[in-house]
Structure 1
Amino acid sequence: MIKIFRRWLDQIFVEEESIILLLLIATSLIILITMGNMLAPAITSLILAFMMQGLIGQLTARNVPHWVAVSIAFVVFVGTFLTALLIILPLAWNQMVNLFNELPGMLSQWQQLMFVLLEKYPSIFTEQQIQEWIVLARSETAKVGQSVLSFSISSIPNVVGILIFIVLVPILVFFFLKDRQLLLDWIASFLPKERPMLTKIWHEMNDQVANYVRGKAIEIVIVGLVSYLAFIFLGLNYAALMAVLVGLSVVIPFIGAAVITIPIAMIGFFQWGWGSEFFSLMVVYVVIQALDGNVLVPWLFSEAVNLHPVAIILAIVVFGGFWGLWGVFFAIPLATLIKAVINAWPTARRASVAE
């Protein structure tokens, strides 16, 4: 048994670089698990700077000086950051509060609809089923209200931490953009000079993940903005809140759009009933999703992420369970990283073929 295990280890760790890579992955995981909350501003800033690096690359490719490109990218970031912080988030939050205040009225309207179904289809629905659904809806509504209230109360002591986060993130983003090459050279100084496997993984991740992350951020903004304009034109209540949800839904492939359809349909139904406005809303929503999937996504993502749909769904479930919304957002890049490591990992068989 010991010989089999040693033979397996010799086959897996055939090169010194594979051990270094394993140590890097283990160290990164330990840091994220133990100090993830403390390093949240730095990690968030690093991700945002990574997104803005594409704009800097495009500007420098047009012979714009590096410091000018960094300044333009930072101004764009600060403008977007302040718009989200001072306009979009407060508007969406106020609409969410109004929505919860109107939930009891929506619940009573839904209760009347259930009794109408009971009268029209007595062979399908029973009074006991209707009563059970009403009790379930009331209990779930109460749970949601308590969750929102507890979140609001628990967030009061964290106001200072949020303010520090808001101040630190733009500062860190600026230095990550300004001193990118300096920081990369400093990290590279701790690695071996000859690192073909790490270089291969870095290039694959830089080509695919950079394209995915930046493209996904742009997709969220475009889909959210188009949805907001469409909802405002149709006169839908809570247009900003629904637009934010639709924009964020593109983070979760295959599932997000289907899940967000439910609250949009419910709000449209409670506002208009089974009228032409409701069906117009659903048609517009389907058109937005179709244009996103068939026009916007192929245009934004020049590099395809070659992952099976099952692998994508499993990655979303696993990483979302670990890190919440950030885990869902980076599920596909993290799955791509795992795939790149597996493809580049040297084994005894590959080493013999290379020789």
Structure 2
Amino acid sequence: MTLRAVFKGWVDHYFSDEEAVILLVVLVLGFTAVIFLGRMLAPFLTALVIAFLLQGAVSWLERRHVPHLLAVTLVFLGFIGMLLALAFILMPLIWNQLVGLVQETPRMFASGQQLLDDLQERYPQLITPDQIQNWIAVAGREMTQFGQRALTLSLASLGNVLALIIYLVLVPILVFFLLKDRETLVGFTLSLLPQKRTLMTRIWNEMDDQIANYVRGKFIEIIIVGTVAFLTFAYFGLPYSALLAVLVGFSVLVPYIGAAVATLPVAAVAGFHFGMTDEFLYVVIAYGIIQALDGNVLVPILFSEAVNLHPVSIIVAVLFFGGIWGFWGIFFAIPLATLLKALVYAWPRGIKRHRQEETVAPLTEE
């Protein structure tokens, strides 16, 4: 069998149906627009994600016979209130703690050096002075590079003030109209697609509830884990509790890897603040309990309807989509991986099943 015959057979298998070709074009155009126009359309895409998150609350109110416009207004006002609380309460607190952490870094560096010297005195056969000097030199270079990155980021952020103002104005406006005119916008989008879209409808119906449950569930998980972590750290008197809690909350976006990465700063701050004492051990145990409850209790409750994916698939999806789209790529890595899985399973099988249904339908009518 020649290569041309193999290629022709592959094309006939996957693209002999008109819907398959249309679906491929829609997917290619969608991904291309996001990749090349993502920065330009960032306010709209951000508003689209937020509206998607808030639509569940609007639907919940409408099911309780609240008029559509009133439901949208109530949910939108709640969103604005949360945004204002984030801007005027949480962000200044996190910024002040971040500044304090940067100012405290030299003292932590000196404490770490003293700890290494003590270890060298206790275990001279395991840790040599040359190793200590190498570690200190590496840590010094990393601290210098971190300082340079922080300075570069702070200088670059000065030019982004206008962009931030645009976000703060445009995104809420877009969110309101996306919620208010959802039916009109969805109808217009569907009018641009071909009338024959059985395969696309089947895949969308399979993915709609799963993506909605995942996105809202992940948002709820971030809030719960971050809040519990903050209360726990504050109870033990751990400094920079809000900053560490935000880090722990967002660490749930990256399965497996996020929890391990967030452990390092928590353990480091607790170690420098408490030393190798019982308080340090209590903080580490409490943090481990939070991660265990998140993985074994909270995640199964929030994502009971999610499609199971192999851990390797999840990690590859996080690396791939995170490398393309950054934060939003990491956030939507699992839904996108689930979408690809649904496409792989539904594409050829969906076409064959659709053809069989079209063949059997006339016979049944007769």
TM tier relative to shorter chain: over 0.9
- Alpha-carbon shift at residue 284 of structure 1 (Å): 1.3
Q: Which amino acid aligns with 2:174?
A: L
Task: Report Cα offsets for 1:38-80 as digits up to 9, x if no partner.
Answer: 1000000000000111111222222222222211211221122
After TM superposition, the score normalised by the length of structure 1 is 0.96
1:50 aligns with 2:52: yes
Code of the aligned partner of 2:267: A
73, 79, 92: which one pairs with 2:94?
92
3-state SS in 2 of match to 1:306: coil
Matched with 2:66 is: 64
Q: Is the 8 A contact 1:221 1:247 kept in 2?
A: yes
Point out where structure 1 has 5 or more consecutive residues left out of the alignment.
none
Q: Is the 8 A contact 2:35 2:324 kept in 1?
A: no
Q: Secondary structure at the match of 2:348?
A: coil
Does structure 1 conserve the Cα–Cα contact (< 8 Å) formed by 2:20 and 2:347?
A: yes
1:209 alignment partner AA:
I
Q: Give the counterpart of 1:30 among 29, 32, 42.
A: 32
Q: C-alpha distance in 2, partners of 1:36/1:335?
A: 19
For residues 23 and 119 of structure 2, what CA distance do their matches in structure 1 show?
A: 61
Query: What's 2:139 paired with?
Result: 137
1:138, 1:251 → 2: CA distance?
30
CA contact (8 A) 1:316 1:327 kept: yes
Displacement of 1:24 in angstroms is 0.9
Residue 147 of structure 1: aligned partner: 149
Look up the SS of the partner of 1:189 in the other structure.
Answer: helix
Which residue in the other structure is 1:255 paired with? 257
Deviations 1:180-231 (A, max 9, x none): 1111100000112231111111112111110000010011111111111111
Corresponding residue of 2:284: 282
Query: Equivalent residue for 2:182?
Result: 180
Q: Secondary structure at the match of 1:77?
A: helix
Aligned position for 2:77:
75
Equivalence map 1:165-314=2 (5 Å): 165-314=167-316
Deviation at 1:352, TM superposition (A): 6.8
The aligned residue for residue 363 of structure 2 is none
Task: State the distance in 2 between where 1:224 and 1:351 align.
Answer: 46
Shift of 1:30: 1.6
Unaligned runs of 5+ in 2: 360-366
Tell me the distance in 1 between the aligned counterparts of 2:8 and 2:40: 39
In the aligned structure 2, how far is the partner of 1:208 from the partner of 1:271? 43
Superposition misfits of 4+ residues, deviation over 2 angstroms: 1-4, 346-355
Cα distance in 2, alignment partners of residues 30 and 290 from structure 1: 39
Letter of the structure 1 residue corresponding to residue 65 of structure 2: N
Report which stretch shifted further, 119-128 or 344-353. 344-353
CA contact (8 A) 2:48 2:175 kept: yes
2:160 is paired with a residue whose SS is: helix
Deviation of 1:236 after TM superposition, in Å, equals 0.7
Q: In the alignment, which residue of structure 2 is the partner of 1:339? A: 341
C-alpha deviation, 1:326, in angstroms: 1.2
Q: Identity across aligned pairs (percent)?
A: 51
| Greater relative contact order (CA < 8 Å, ≥ 6 in sequence) | 1
The number of aligned residues is: 355
Superposition RMSD in Å: 1.5
Rounded to whole Å, the distance in 2 between the matches of 1:215 and 1:309 is 19
Tell me how far 1:294 sits from its aligned partner. 2.2
How far has the Cα of 1:100 moved from its partner? 1.2
Distance apart, 1:351 and its partner CA: 6.3
Q: What does the per-residue CA deviation read over 1:310-336, in whole Å, with 9 as the maximum and x for residues that have no partner?
A: 100100011111111111111001111
Deviates most, 339-348 or 227-236: 339-348
Deviates more, 1:296-305 or 1:16-25: 296-305
The answer to whether the 8 Å contact 1:15/1:346 transfers is: no
TM-score w.r.t. length of structure 2:
0.93
For residues 4 and 213 of structure 1, the distance between their equivalents in structure 2, rounded to whole angstroms, comes to 40
After TM superposition, the structure 1 stretch with the greater mean CA deviation from structure 2, 310-319 or 274-283, is 274-283
Cα distance in 2, alignment partners of residues 353 and 116 from structure 1: 76
Aligned to 2:362: none
One-letter identity of the residue aligned with 1:272: F
Q: CA deviation at 1:132?
A: 0.5
Match of 1:14 in 2: 16
Counterpart-to-counterpart distance in 2, 1:307 and 1:270:
39
In structure 2, how many angstroms separate the alpha carbons of the residues matched to 1:86 and 1:16?
Answer: 53
**How far did residue 350 of structure 1 move?**
5.5
